[in-house]
Structure 1
């Protein structure tokens, strides 16, 4: 079982976004934590980094998958999250 951990920045973003979007993102993160191969089309490795990104509609989730711990680092809109 993979443990999901959120950074302060990610939690802050989740609280500020519309509730349906936040719930959808949390469902996708949980689905990825249970079976990383299920979200294969929406998950990519970031170039020049050990992090991965999960695509959820117009939102992007930057994560660090350490095997037993999935650390959600940043959540943001498509154009802003990579800055």
Structure 2
């Protein structure tokens, strides 16, 4: 499924953001400011592909850095599936 946005007469495809149950629970437990920053970063990445994103080493998926927080996710041509959202700790990538 695509969401479409018209910008300057051009139509671009925007990726759909899906949170797993665990990621949604993680996001709900964060303070308001980081929660808003993470939501903004995910939306910006879905619309433009811009953000502090790197491919994970040794496993599938990507990580997005938003200040002290990380979002671990998978993506394909149409969807971003957020798997984990939390503060960066030594156990974040395990």
| TM-score, length of structure 1 as denominator length | 0.90
1:81 equivalent in structure 2: 92
Aligned residues: 80
Root-mean-square deviation (CA), in Å? 1.0
Structure with greater helix percent:
1
Find the aligned partners of 1:65 and 1:33 in 2 and give their Cα distance: 10
Aligned pair 1:54/2:67, yes or no?
A: no
Structure 1 residues 1-83: aligned runs within 5 Å: 1-36=14-49, 38-39=50-51, 42-79=52-89, 80-83=91-94
Instruction: Check whether the contact 1:59–1:76 (CA below 8 A) recurs between aligned residues.
Output: yes
Find the aligned partners of 1:23 and 1:9 in 2 and give their Cα distance: 18
Higher relative contact order (CA 8 A, sep 6+): 1
Runs ≥4 in structure 1, deviation > 4 angstroms?
none
Structure 2: segments with no counterpart, 5+ residues? 1-13
**Greater C-alpha Rg:** 2
Q: 1:67 offset after TM fit, Å?
A: 1.4
Structure with greater strand percent:
2
